Homo-oligomer: A and B are copies of this chain.
Amino acid sequence: MPNRYFARVYVSLKPGYSDPEGEATAGALRGLGYGVEDVRVSKVYEILLEAKNRDEAGRLVEEMCKRLLTNPTKDDYTYELREME
C-alpha cells in the first residue's frame, strides 16, 4: 500500500535571468513610496503524493520538477519532503 508524502517545492529563476513580475512589483512598490532595491518572485508547489517509500517519493518529485514544474534552462529548484501520518 502506498504511503502519503507532502512535498514543498521552491522554484526560482536562476541568477541572471530577468524576472518581469519581480520588476513590475518593485516598480509598483517604488510608486507607493517604498525604498525597494530589488524584488524577485518565486513559486512554491505544495504537493500531496503517493509513493512506496521516501526514496521513491524523492525520485518522483525530482521527475515532476524536470518534466512539468520547472524550466531546466532558467529555473532552479529545491524541495522538502515529509511523510504524512
| A binding-site residues for B, Cβ under 8 Å | 2, 4, 10, 12, 22, 25-26, 28-29, 32, 34-51, 60, 63-64, 67-69
Contact residues in B for A26 (Cβ distance below 8 Å): 47
Q: Copies of this chain, how many?
A: 2
Known: A28-B68, A29-B64, A29-B68. A40 touches B46 (CB 8 A): yes
CB–CB A35/B51 < 8 A? yes
- Taking chain A's interface residues, is the majority helix, strand, or loop, or is none over half, making it mixed? strand
Contact residues in B for A36 (Cβ distance below 8 Å): 47-50
CB–CB B43/A42 < 8 A? yes
- A6–chain B nearest beta-carbon distance, Å: 9
